[in-house]
């Protein structure tokens, strides 16, 4: 195989690593952004505190996956990094403002006097919304090949709004798993409400991508590829229906199956991500730049790869450790 | 203003905001470990109180550092796409190693350190504290390696305008790396020590006697680190003279190559007429300090044509840093002597310490401005000019609008941070009197 010569396989490995990092980010920061969004619906302060407690020990590490994802884009595909980030200059800046706001609000709110706390709560909620909408907007723009006109911008905004629903869904599923009693019941309601808007968003992206690019259209709708790929949308659809029914039945006695919505939602995200990556491959910038054209030198990629292979098992190991330490229902946080 | 200058201001604003918080947390992490171990051994609750109070400030610094750090990883691409395209093969792995070996470690164990106190054993909690400290230092190691490489690049070859690494050891341990790393680690130690001493003095002035443990830690740490820093700074200066003579010439505002160069205490450098006004200097001082000989020759700015950094910011940046260093020396030794001989500090010294709480920030920023502006017009010394690395498809208007947004957020957060730190200090006093 030609691909195994001259280190041609390296960019492929890195694009997979980057995909995994971005997917991990979307799921992990997705649930804590989602909790931030849902806080706008929570009425009393005890609920708000509990919601924050459920994500407190994790959000720092969750955001690190974003640094890793962008980091791999930066170090492994410097050409693409420049093009993508300068094309998304304004939405990136807005997203960063949102991330800054919510990240610090998180810490400030437990340290200030009670009378100021609700300002930081608001900052946390606003930051979560801003971050999510701009991330969805960037996804939309990425699909649209970075062309700015009234149609692409409205499409991207719509994707942004659907992503709010998507993150609310993971966030609510996370809360179903991590909370009890009234707050859990509320979370079930929130999950139900966001499920179908999130599903609509996925349809929107799935329909738009093949229509925009002939190359992608051919990939999906020619034989025999069609049969190999059909399971992705079919499974996604089934999972969404399954989630709907599960949410109607929850909560079960003794809180059994409280983890089902979260796992189901994560699977939906994974399937959606796989579909999207398959559409774009081998391009890293839609129909302009392939992963091989954008990649760094073979030597540098090798150096990073060995480091990554040595370190990633540890990262996974201690991440699991941290989740086990905070396993079970969220308790009050103080330090 | 042109897009280049705006992009520089924006990046400088972000990176300046960012460095404030790691410069505290880098050393504060080790100080926390010290408190923790002291408590483990002595079981004296004053150490635990110190830990519990300072871990809050640490968490705040950490969060501010993380969010402004994320901003930076994006701004490499939005502001300087040419940087990664030219030296990505060098910078990429260094940044990747930072994320892999440091970021995940510190971020994950920070959760355990902050919230896991009741969920894990004391031993695991101590280990988590250590791993966070280790992670922050590892992070500094990789970043300083990259920054130093940009100042003194070695271990690579240029092929078709792109850098390819020939020797990773040389890249990481490039000629200025160990000087800069030591200088920065001690700078962080001083920043944290003066914050520790300043806030403790503030509480002590409000009749809170329990803070004596952290007050002593802060003062002694500062008193020990400051002479070390002066020595390391001097060595770093000699290293810079060897590899980046233009930077030194600008720092000292020496326009013509000369032996017996004076050490200017004050002057107004005039970039147009290539001379200084209102000079006040010590004869032969610069020659003595930089070459350790009274007749040492120092290259003037004339030798570098227009490829030298702007003189004004370097001249004053350097003097602000050194000036604060001198103040730190006087105050920490004064306070240290009082502690040593009387076991207590006088109220006026305590007040001095309070005003010095954030002095480390100013010195650190002044020092970084000196060294980074001192690299201009190069982004990577001798390889890539800053002007060549800017984004071509980003307009001045876009930069201005985002710059205003970033600046207002930063100013707001710095004020909020300082207020919250003092407020936390005040609140913890109230608790003390209730008990």
Contact assessment for residue A72 and residue A18, using Cβ atoms and an 8 Å cutoff: yes
Looking up tokens 């201690």, which residue turns up? A318
CA A240/CA A242 separation, integer angstroms: 5
pLDDT of B434 > 50? The answer is: no
CA B18/CA B73 separation, integer angstroms: 12
Q: Among A153-157, B234-238, B366-370, name the most confident range.
A: B366-370
Distance from CA of A232 to the nearest CA of B (A): 32
Write out the two tokens for B24. Answer: 């505290």
Name the percent of chain B lying above pLDDT 70: 98
Residues contacting residue A242 through CB under 8 Å, at least 6 positions apart: A264
- Average pLDDT, integer, range B276-292: 83
Q: Is B266 within the bounds of a domain?
A: no
Residues contacting residue B198 through CB under 8 Å, at least 6 positions apart: B218, B353, B354, B355, B356, B357, B358
Write out the two tokens for B365. Answer: 């920023």
Q: Among A55-59, B61-65, B229-233, B272-276, name the most confident range.
A: B229-233
Contact assessment for residue A331 and residue A36, using Cβ atoms and an 8 Å cutoff: no
What is the reported pLDDT for A310? 85
Hey, are the CB atoms on A85 and B165 less than 8 Å from each other? no
Beta bridge partners of B297: B259
Q: How confident is the model at residue B70 (pLDDT cuts 50, 70, 90)?
A: confident
In chain A, residues with a C-beta closer than 8 Å to the C-beta of B102 are none
Looking up tokens 């407690």, which residue turns up? A53
For Cα atoms B71, B75, B80, give the angle at the middle one, nearest 5 degrees: 165
Q: Is B388 within the bounds of a domain?
A: yes
Q: Count Cβ atoms below 10 Å from residue B136 Cβ, excluding itself.
A: 27
Please name the member of B84, B100, B109 whose beta carbon is closest to the beta carbon of A78: B84
Please name the member of A61, A97, A299 whose beta carbon is closest to the beta carbon of B165: A299
Q: Is B346 within the bounds of a domain?
A: yes
Q: Is B424 within the bounds of a domain?
A: yes
CA A145/CA A152 separation, integer angstroms: 9
Hey, are the CB atoms on B84 and A81 less than 8 Å from each other? yes
Hey, are the CB atoms on A104 and B70 less than 8 Å from each other? no
Q: Count Cβ atoms below 10 Å from residue B271 Cβ, excluding itself.
A: 12
CA A253/CA A248 separation, integer angstroms: 14
> Which residues 63-122 of A are in CB contact (within 8 Å) with B?
63-64, 66-68, 70-76, 78-79, 81-87, 89-90, 92-93, 96-97, 99-101, 103-104, 106-108, 111-113
* Burial of residue A207 (number of CB atoms within 10 Å: 0-12, 13-18, 19+): exposed
Q: Chain B residue closest to A86 (CA)?
A: B78
In chain A, residues with a C-beta closer than 8 Å to the C-beta of B402 are 89-90, 93
Give B314-341 pLDDT, tens digit per residue: 989 999 999 999 999 999 999 999 988 8
Hey, are the CB atoms on B81 and A82 less than 8 Å from each other? yes
pLDDT tens across the length of chain A (335 residues) = 455 566 678 888 888 888 888 999 999 999 999 999 999 998 888 888 888 888 888 887 788 888 888 888 888 888 888 788 888 888 988 998 898 888 888 888 877 777 788 888 899 999 999 999 999 999 989 888 888 888 889 889 988 998 999 999 999 999 998 888 888 888 888 988 899 888 888 888 888 888 887 788 887 787 777 777 788 888 888 998 988 888 888 777 777 788 888 888 899 889 888 888 888 888 888 778 888 888 877 878 888 888 888 888 888 888 888 888 888 777 766 66
In chain A, residues with a C-beta closer than 8 Å to the C-beta of B168 are 303
For B121, the domain range is 3-257+299-434
A7 touches chain B (CB under 8 A): no
Looking up tokens 């150096």, which residue turns up? A303
Asked if the peptide bond before residue B406 counts as cis, ω within 30 degrees of 0, the response is no
Of the candidates B247, B268, B250, the one whose C-alpha atom is nearest the C-alpha of residue B371 is B247
Hey, are the CB atoms on B394 and A86 less than 8 Å from each other? yes
Beta bridge partners of B269: B276
Phi, psi of A33, deg, nearest 5:
-65, -40
Q: What is the ipTM of this complex?
A: 0.79
Beta bridge partners of B266: B280
Q: Is B368 within the bounds of a domain?
A: yes
Hey, are the CB atoms on A70 and B74 less than 8 Å from each other? yes
Q: Chain A residue closest to B116 (CA)?
A: A325
What is the reported pLDDT for B300? 85
Looking up tokens 């020496």, which residue turns up? B254
What is the reported pLDDT for A7? 67
Hey, are the CB atoms on B63 and A104 less than 8 Å from each other? yes
Higher pLDDT, A128 or B250: A128
Beta bridge partners of B270: B275
Q: Is B76 within the bounds of a domain?
A: yes
Give B167-222 pLDDT, tens digit per residue: 899 999 999 999 999 999 999 999 999 999 999 999 988 888 788 889 999 999 99
Residues contacting residue B166 through CB under 8 Å, at least 6 positions apart: B155, B156, B157
What is the reported pLDDT for A3? 55
Name the percent of chain B lying above pLDDT 90: 40
Higher pLDDT, B46 or A130: A130
Hey, are the CB atoms on A111 and B56 less than 8 Å from each other? yes
* Integer CA distances (angstroms), A298 to A2, A13, A304, B93, in order: 15, 12, 10, 12
Residues contacting residue A247 through CB under 8 Å, at least 6 positions apart: A188, A191, A192, A195, A261
Q: Is B243 within the bounds of a domain?
A: yes
Q: How confident is the model at residue B435 (pLDDT cuts 50, 70, 90)?
A: very low
Please name the member of B67, B95, B165 whose beta carbon is closest to the beta carbon of A100: B67
Helix axes B396-434, B3-42, angle to 10 degrees: 20
Distance from CA of A325 to the nearest CA of B (A): 6
Count H helices and E strands in chain B, helices first: 14, 8
Q: Is B267 within the bounds of a domain?
A: no
pTM: 0.86
Q: How confident is the model at residue B89 (pLDDT cuts 50, 70, 90)?
A: confident
* Integer CA distances (angstroms), A173 to A32, A39, A64, A166, A190, in order: 11, 14, 22, 11, 9
Please name the member of A83, A299, A321 whose beta carbon is closest to the beta carbon of B164: A299
Residue B292 backbone class (left: φ over 0; alpha: ψ -120 to 50; beta: rest): left
Q: Count Cβ atoms below 10 Å from residue B32 Cβ, excluding itself.
A: 24
Strand ranges in B271-354 using DSSP code E only, listed in sequence order: 275-282, 297-298
Hey, are the CB atoms on A299 and B89 less than 8 Å from each other? yes
What is the reported pLDDT for B431? 52
Taking the C-alpha atoms of B331, B337, B338 and B342 in order, what is their torsion angle to the nearest 10 degrees?
A: 170
Hey, are the CB atoms on B63 and A85 less than 8 Å from each other? no
What is the reported pLDDT for A2? 54
Write out the two tokens for A88. Answer: 């998304």
Interface test with B, best of A102, A300, A323 (most B CBs within 10 A): A300
Write out the two tokens for A266. Answer: 């994560």
Count H helices and E strands in chain A, helices first: 14, 2
Please name the member of A89, A107, A304 whose beta carbon is closest to the beta carbon of B398: A89
Q: Count Cβ atoms below 10 Å from residue A289 Cβ, excluding itself.
A: 17
Looking up tokens 């370190």, which residue turns up? A311
Residues contacting residue B186 through CB under 8 Å, at least 6 positions apart: B225, B228, B229, B232
pLDDT of B31 > 50? The answer is: yes
Domain count within chain B: 1
Pairing of strands A283-285, B258-259: unpaired
What is the reported pLDDT for B430? 52
Hey, are the CB atoms on B74 and A92 less than 8 Å from each other? yes
Write out the two tokens for B131. Answer: 């791993």
CA B124/CA B146 separation, integer angstroms: 33
Of the candidates A139, A315, A97, the one whose C-alpha atom is nearest the C-alpha of residue B70 is A97
């Amino acid at each position: 195989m030609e691909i195994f010569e001259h280190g041609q396989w390296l960019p492929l490995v890195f694009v997979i690593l980057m995909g995994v990092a971005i997917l991990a980010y979307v799921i992990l920061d997705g649930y804590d952004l989602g909790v931030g969004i849902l806080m706008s619906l929570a009425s009393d302060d005890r609920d708000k505190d509990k919601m924050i407690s459920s994500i407190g020990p994790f959000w720092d590490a969750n955001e690190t996956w974003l640094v890793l994802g962008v980091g791999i884009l930066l170090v492994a595909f410097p050409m693409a990094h420049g093009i993508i980030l300068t094309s998304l200059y304004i939405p990136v800046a807005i997203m960063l403002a949102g991330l800054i706001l919510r990240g610090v609000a998180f810490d400030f709110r437990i340290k200030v006097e009670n009378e100021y706390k609700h300002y930081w709560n608001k900052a946390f909620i606003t930051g979560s919304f801003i971050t999510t909408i701009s991330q969805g907007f960037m996804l939309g723009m990425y699909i649209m090949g970075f062309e700015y006109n009234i149609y692409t911008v409205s499409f991207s905004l719509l994707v942004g709004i659907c992503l709010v629903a998507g993150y609310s869904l993971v966030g609510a599923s996370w809360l179903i798993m991590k909370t009890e009693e009234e707050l859990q019941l509320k979370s079930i309601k929130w999950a139900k409400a966001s499920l179908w808007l999130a599903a609509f968003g996925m349809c929107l992206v799935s329909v738009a991508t093949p229509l925009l690019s002939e190359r992608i259209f051919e990939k999906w709708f020619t034989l025999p590829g069609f049969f190999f790929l059909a399971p992705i949308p079919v499974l996604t659809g089934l999972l969404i229906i399954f989630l709907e029914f599960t949410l109607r039945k929850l909560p079960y006695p003794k809180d059994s199956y409280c983890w089902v919505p979260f796992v189901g939602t994560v699977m939906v995200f994974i399937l959606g991500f796989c579909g999207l990556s398959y559409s774009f491959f081998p391009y890293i910038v839609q129909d302009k730049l392939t992963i091989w054209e954008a990649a760094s030198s073979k030597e540098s990629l090798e150096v990073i790869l060995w480091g990554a292979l040595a370190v990633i098992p540890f990262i996974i190991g201690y991440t699991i450790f941290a989740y086990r330490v905070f396993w079970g229902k969220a308790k009050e946080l103080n330090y | 203003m042109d897009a280049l200058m705006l992009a520089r201001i924006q990046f400088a604003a972000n990176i300046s905001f960012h460095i404030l918080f790691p410069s505290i947390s880098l050393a504060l992490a080790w100080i926390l470990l010290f408190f923790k171990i002291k408590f483990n051994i002595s079981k004296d609750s004053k150490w635990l109180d110190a830990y519990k109070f300072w871990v809050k400030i640490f968490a705040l610094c950490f969060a501010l550092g993380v969010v402004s750090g994320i901003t930076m990883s994006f701004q490499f691409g939005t502001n300087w796409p040419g940087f990664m395209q030219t030296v990505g093969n060098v910078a990429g792995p260094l940044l990747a190693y930072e994320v892999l070996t440091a970021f995940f470690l510190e971020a994950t164990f920070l959760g355990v350190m902050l919230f896991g106190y009741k969920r894990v054993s004391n031993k695991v909690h101590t280990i988590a504290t250590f791993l966070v400290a280790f992670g922050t230092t590892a992070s500094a190691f990789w970043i300083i390696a990259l920054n130093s490489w940009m100042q003194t690049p070695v271990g690579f070859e240029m092929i078709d305008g792109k850098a390819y690494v020939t020797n990773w050891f040389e890249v990481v341990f490039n000629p200025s790396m160990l000087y800069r790393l030591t200088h920065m680690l001690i700078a962080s130690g001083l920043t944290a020590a003066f914050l520790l001493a300043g806030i403790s003095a503030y509480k002590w002035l409000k009749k809170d006697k329990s803070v004596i443990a952290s007050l002593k830690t802060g003062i002694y740490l500062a008193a020990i680190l400051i002479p070390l820093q002066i020595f390391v700074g001097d060595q770093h200066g000699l290293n810079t003279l060897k590899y980046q003579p233009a930077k030194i010439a600008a720092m000292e505002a020496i326009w013509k190559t000369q032996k017996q160069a004076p050490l200017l205490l004050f002057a107004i450098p005039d970039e147009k007429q290539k001379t200084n006004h209102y000079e006040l200097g010590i004869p032969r001082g610069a020659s003595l300090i930089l070459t350790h000989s009274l007749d040492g020759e120092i290259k003037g700015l004339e030798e570098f044509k227009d490829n030298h950094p702007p003189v004004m910011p370097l001249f004053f940046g350097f003097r602000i840093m050194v000036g604060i260093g001198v103040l730190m020396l006087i105050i920490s030794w004064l306070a240290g002597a009082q502690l040593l001989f009387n076991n207590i500090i006088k109220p006026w010294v305590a007040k001095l310490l309070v005003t010095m709480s954030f002095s480390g920030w100013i010195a650190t920023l002044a020092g970084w401005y000196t060294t980074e502006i001192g690299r201009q017009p190069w982004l990577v010394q001798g390889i890539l000019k800053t002007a060549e690395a800017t984004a071509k498809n980003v307009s001045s208007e876009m930069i201005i609008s985002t710059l205003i947004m970033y600046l207002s957020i930063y100013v707001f957060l710095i004020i909020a941070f300082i207020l919250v730190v003092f407020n936390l200090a005040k609140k913890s006093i109230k608790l003390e009197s209730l008990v």
